Amino acid sequence: MNIAKVIVDVPASSINQTFDYYIPERFQEILENGMRVIVPFGPRKIMGFVVGRVSESSFKRLKEIVEVLDLTPVLTNELLDLGKWVANETLSLSITALQAMLPQVLKAQYEKELIRMTDAELPEPFETLFAGRDVISFDEFAGSTVSYYQLQKVIQEGDISIEYLVKSKITKKYVTKIAASRPAHLLEEALLDLSPSAKKQKQLLRFFIENETSIEQKKLLQLVNTTTSTVKALMDKGLLETKREEVFRNPYNDAEIERTNPLTLTEEQQIAINPINEAIDSQYHDVFLLHGVTGSGKTEIYLQAIQNVINKGKEAIVLVPEISLTPQMVKRFKGRFGANVAVMHSALSAGEKFDEWRKIQRKEVQVVVGARSAVFAPFENLGIIIIDEEHETTYKQEDQPRYHARDVSIHRGEYHQCPVILGSATPTLESYARASKGVYKLATLNKRTNDKPMPKVDIVDMREELHAGNRTMFSRKLKESIELCIERGEQVVLLLNRRGYSTFVMCRDCGHVKECPHCDIALTYHKNSNQLKCHYCSHEESMPSACPECQSKLIRYFGTGTQRVEEAITQLIPEARVLRMDVDTTRRKGSHEKILKQFVDRKADILLGTQMIAKGLDFENVTLVGVLTADSMLHLPDFRSSEKTFQLLTQVSGRAGRHELTGEVIVQTYTPEHYSIVLASEYNFNDFYNKEMNTRRIFQYPPYFYLALITISHKNRVKVIQTSQQIAQLLMRQLQQDTVVLGPTPSPIPRIKDRYRYQCMIKYRNEPDLRVYIRKIVEQFADEVRKDDLLITVDMQPYHLM
DNA sequence: AGCACGCCGACT
DNA sequence: GTCGGCGTGCTC
């Protein structure tokens, strides 16, 4: 077994296989599956993952592994298999799937160096370049005027050679600590030698005899109540020394979080948790759909189920949408399980993520709370996986590997024979349909734990407002309610549902819309810089003063940004203090929390924001929720637009009156009769489900049909159309009768970065070999992909049909 | 992907 | 002789 099978860090379909390498004697004992290694690959050196060991290879001349990068495997055998499964399910490369399971810092960085191999004089440009050094970075050469041709000659002469390096991005954090430099019994002896007057020094020494071996200076001085000079005196005597010690970065100050105890469950909660606990106790896999209205206490069920898992010595993964992974949420888990929790989300620095990941890897925690990628936490003894707000689209990764965390969770749940909990007030149709069929177990929570009814929802028809001569974005009803609310000293949350409503620039005379010259999409107006920007490429231009088509001066920006709403409120209700929360105001780390804290501290009357304020936030004093434009995403070309509208309205309504005060919700819309708005206002999930299912069945959409989306892009439009047609035809030849292949049609954004984009959509009920077919077809175009810059991407079960 | 190698045309 | 620009084939 001295040959290793290695998945190599080269993301190319022709390299998507294992490569065999000899394991040199010195690594024989230590090398395990799932470790990262450095291997020679052609002329260079690259990183790879060991995925197996064999004693024979069909290859004659094997190279040796150069270096082993890990002391313990970074991927367990389960995760290696999972990687294979993910790559296969999502039609992505093995290496991409493996990298997705690890923190970014474990990715290798590559560098090249030029090494001087001779003391003899080098040809002139190189002497200047090296300037007396023996090694320079390749970049330095590339940035110089020296030609590659000249370098080749010197390399052939053997006077310079290229070294290929694999560098690690890992950074560890260290603190300087004070430690005893001798064992305790020798310190005792030293104690006797100290002069009787050196009281503080004696105290210090006794501290080290009695206590831990190392401590931060600041803490030490506090505990012993002395100054640096005493410490220094003992150091000079050689009794104490400074020591650099590695510490884990700690993004959350555990000590400051108040511990909580389990709450008594309501009868409903108890009924819901029983079967989950039974699955944990008897160690079998099942998927539970926990359908509970907002405020029904889903989180408490999670917490108690996790407690059961911890008691059994097992581990738990909790997935939450990125957007709701707020300090409030973290606090609930840390409050119950303290330092036994690792937190993983994008706001952490790369180093912090790495440290949280290592806590899991070293089994220092039993719980991880995190966004999508936390589903790959390297636990080996999982007892439960929980997906909160399971309807959130962020669980689907939008770039390769395009996996869905729900599918991965269920796969891991089967492996570990543990339950998977999907929780939501507004489950996806897919999940609810499965629960209805008995594939998932359904648990329903209809009551809020505070016994308060859901807030009453008023729908305001904005067309009537217009007829009545109200041209502002606030209906009379909403304006009045805001004023009353502020008068009572209560707070307001205003949701601007901005999707599909970005601020574009249009000429009022000729209707010309300013588009990106490289992409077929309207440019977005940015007020603070007075610039037009493209969100798909890096194009920027200044705001024109006249229409480029008709020279009219009446060129303006349209759409409703949060900034404009803010201005409008201040005009309409001058006494209102408004806090704005959107992508612009939350870009800086920690600004999210800052805004929320200000609002909790009642520094403002109105919290105005986009989707991010709809989720999981819990404010005592909020009694009014206003939705400015409920239907803004209803008309998007997306078969889920009704479902998304229903979900958003239900979620945001749940923000009002969560505590003692009763809440009120006002929803403004131009389509007040639309079923997703009407039924959301009645909190009627069941009717919505039935109605929407009916539409999905008629139009052959999920959950009745599965989807696969193939997108083809190229600089040459004719080539894209031709290739797309070929692909569609090849597909149709293989697929079943009831499978539909739509297209090719231009993508919703037909051109991005000067590349034309066409797509084929496959709708199918049962195609066990679909992935095989697609792979084969894509393979047929491999040559053009490689040589002609053709791009074919496949998205199984896509969420965004872009 | 990223690298070497080979061939070609261009420039001085 | 020197240089950059492709196209091609290979990586255990």
- Residue nearest the C1' of C2 (CA based): A149
**What is the nearest nucleotide to A6, using C1' and CA?**
C12
Residues at the strand B interface (CB under 7 A)? A 10-12, 14-15, 42-44, 110, 112, 162, 164, 786
**Block residue for tokens 């797309």:** A724
For A580-636, the pLDDT digits (tens) are: 887 777 766 677 778 888 888 889 899 988 877 776 567 788 889 999 888 878 877
Q: How far is the CA of A790 from the C1' of B11 (A)?
A: 34
**What is the nearest nucleotide to A110, using C1' and CA?**
B2
Closest CA relative to residue A36, chosen from A16, A51, A54:
A51
**Block residue for tokens 């890990």:** A70
C-alpha to C-alpha distance for A31 and A53, rounded to whole angstroms: 9
What tokens appear for A787 in the block?
A: 């040589």
Those residues of chain A that have pLDDT short of 50 are 500-501
**What is the nearest nucleotide to A19, using C1' and CA?**
C12
Q: How far is the CA of A13 from the C1' of C7 (A)?
A: 20
At A796, is the secondary structure helix, strand, or coil? strand
A456-501+560-696 to CATH, choices 3.40.50.2300, 3.40.50.300, 3.30.70.100, 3.40.50.1970: 3.40.50.300
C-alpha to C-alpha distance for A662 and A453, rounded to whole angstroms: 8
**What is the nearest nucleotide to A20, using C1' and CA?**
C12
* A114 contacts A162 by C-beta, under 8 angstroms: yes
Q: What's A320-332 look like in SS3?
A: CCHHHCCHHHHHH
Q: Find the helix packing angle between A199-210 and A228-236, rounded to 10°.
A: 80
Per-residue burial over A11-21, b if 16 or more Cβ lie within 10 Å, else e, is eeeeebebbbb
Query: Which positions 141-160 on chain A have a beta carbon less than 7 angstroms from any atom of strand C?
Result: 147-150
Q: What's A274-318 look like in SS3?
A: HHHHHHHHHCCCCEEEEEECCCCCHHHHHHHHHHHHHHCCCEEEE
A507 labeled binding residue: yes
Q: How far is the CA of A74 from the C1' of B1 (A)?
A: 24
A550 labeled binding residue: yes
Q: State residue A27's pLDDT score.
A: 96
Q: How far is the CA of A138 from the C1' of C5 (A)?
A: 21
**What is the nearest nucleotide to A10, using C1' and CA?**
B1
Provide the sign of the torsion angle of the four alpha carbons A355, A361, A362, A368, taken in this order: positive
Cβ neighbours for A728, distance < 8 A, ≥ 6 positions apart: A741, A743, A744, A760
Compute CA A728 distance to the chain's CA centroid, rounded to the nearest angstrom: 33
Cβ of residue A14 near strand C, that is under 7 Å?
yes
Q: State residue A391's pLDDT score.
A: 96
What tokens appear for A620 in the block?
A: 């005592």
C-alpha to C-alpha distance for A338 and A359, rounded to whole angstroms: 14
Give, for A795, the enclosing helix (H) or strand (E): strand A791-796
Query: Which positions 44-63 on chain A have a beta carbon less than 7 angstroms from any atom of strand C?
Result: 57, 59, 61-63
C-alpha to C-alpha distance for A51 and A17, rounded to whole angstroms: 11
CB atoms within 10 A of CB A246: 9
Closest CA relative to residue A265, chosen from A322, A321, A303:
A303
A537 labeled binding residue: yes
CA dihedral A410, A414, A416, A417 (to 10 degrees): 120
Q: How far is the CA of A661 from the C1' of C6 (A)?
A: 73
Q: How far is the CA of A41 from the C1' of B5 (A)?
A: 17
Q: How far is the CA of A11 from the C1' of C1 (A)?
A: 39
Would you call the peptide bond into A11 cis, given omega within 30 degrees of 0 as the criterion?
A: no
Cβ neighbours for A686, distance < 8 A, ≥ 6 positions apart: none
Give, for A422, the enclosing helix (H) or strand (E): strand A420-424
Q: What's A682-707 look like in SS3?
A: CCCHHHHHHHHHHHHHHCCCCCCCEE
CA atoms within 13 A on the CB side of A627: 35
CA distances, A575 to each of A176, A479, A535, A673, A739 (Å): 53, 13, 36, 34, 60
- Residue nearest the C1' of B3 (CA based): A43
Compute CA A376 distance to the chain's CA centroid, rounded to the nearest angstrom: 12
Closest CA relative to residue A745, chosen from A757, A754, A755, A735:
A757
* A501 contacts A507 by C-beta, under 8 angstroms: no
- Residue nearest the C1' of C7 (CA based): A787
Q: How far is the CA of A50 from the C1' of C9 (A)?
A: 27
Closest CA relative to residue A56, chosen from A105, A19, A2:
A2
- Residue nearest the C1' of B5 (CA based): A152
CB atoms within 10 A of CB A120: 8
Give, for A521, the enclosing helix (H) or strand (E): none
What's the one-letter identity of residue A669?
T
Q: How far is the CA of A150 from the C1' of C5 (A)?
A: 16
- Residue nearest the C1' of C6 (CA based): A787
C-alpha to C-alpha distance for A411 and A420, rounded to whole angstroms: 10
Q: How far is the CA of A301 from the C1' of B11 (A)?
A: 78
**What is the nearest nucleotide to A41, using C1' and CA?**
C11
Closest CA relative to residue A582, chosen from A569, A565, A597, A604:
A565
Give the architecture (CATH level 2) of A254-445: 3-Layer(aba) Sandwich (3.40)
A418 labeled binding residue: no
Q: State residue A500's pLDDT score.
A: 44
CB atoms within 10 A of CB A291: 25
Cβ neighbours for A212, distance < 8 A, ≥ 6 positions apart: none
CB atoms within 10 A of CB A366: 20
Spans of all domains in chain A: 3-107, 174-247, 254-445, 456-501+560-696, 503-559, 706-795
C-alpha to C-alpha distance for A444 and A424, rounded to whole angstroms: 10
Closest CA relative to residue A371, chosen from A423, A327, A320, A415:
A320
Cβ neighbours for A694, distance < 8 A, ≥ 6 positions apart: none
Q: Which nucleotides of B are covered by protein (CB under 7 A)?
A: 1-4
* A448 contacts A299 by C-beta, under 8 angstroms: no
Q: Which nucleotides of C are covered by protein (CB under 7 A)?
A: 2-4, 7-8, 10-12
Q: Which residues pair with A556 in a beta bridge?
A: A506
Q: How far is the CA of A38 from the C1' of B6 (A)?
A: 30
**What is the nearest nucleotide to A145, using C1' and CA?**
C3
- Residue nearest the C1' of B4 (CA based): A43
Phi/psi at A327 (5° precision): -55, -35
C-alpha to C-alpha distance for A386 and A786, rounded to whole angstroms: 41
A547 labeled binding residue: yes
CA distances, A329 to each of A257, A309, A319, A324 (Å): 12, 20, 11, 7
At residue A40's C-alpha, the angle toward residues A34 and A42, to 5°, is: 130
**What is the nearest nucleotide to A123, using C1' and CA?**
C2
Q: How far is the CA of A153 from the C1' of B10 (A)?
A: 21
Q: How far is the CA of A45 from the C1' of C5 (A)?
A: 27
Cβ of residue A43 near strand C, that is under 7 Å?
no
Domain A706-795 has CATH 3.30.565.10: no
- Residue nearest the C1' of B1 (CA based): A10
Cβ of residue A15 near strand C, that is under 7 Å?
yes
Would you call the peptide bond into A401 cis, given omega within 30 degrees of 0 as the criterion?
A: yes
Q: What is the DSSP letter of A800?
A: S
Give the architecture (CATH level 2) of A3-107: 3-Layer(aba) Sandwich (3.40)
Give percent helix, percent strand, percent coil of chain A, each to the nearest 5: 35, 25, 40
Q: How far is the CA of A788 from the C1' of B7 (A)?
A: 20
Would you call the peptide bond into A703 cis, given omega within 30 degrees of 0 as the criterion?
A: yes
**What is the nearest nucleotide to A11, using C1' and CA?**
B1
pTM for the structure as a whole: 0.90
**What is the nearest nucleotide to A787, using C1' and CA?**
C7
**What is the nearest nucleotide to A15, using C1' and CA?**
C11
C-alpha to C-alpha distance for A78 and A85, rounded to whole angstroms: 10
C-alpha to C-alpha distance for A406 and A643, rounded to whole angstroms: 18
What tokens appear for A219 in the block?
A: 């803490």
Closest CA relative to residue A378, chosen from A419, A342, A334:
A342
Q: How far is the CA of A149 from the C1' of B11 (A)?
A: 15
What tokens appear for A741 in the block?
A: 């292949």
Compute CA A310 distance to the chain's CA centroid, rounded to the nearest angstrom: 26
Helices (H) and strands (E) in chain A, counts: 26, 34
Helices (H), A369-524: 405-416, 429-436, 462-467, 476-487
**What is the nearest nucleotide to A785, using C1' and CA?**
B1
Q: How far is the CA of A576 from the C1' of C8 (A)?
A: 69
> Would you say the CATH fold of A254-445 matches that of A3-107?
no
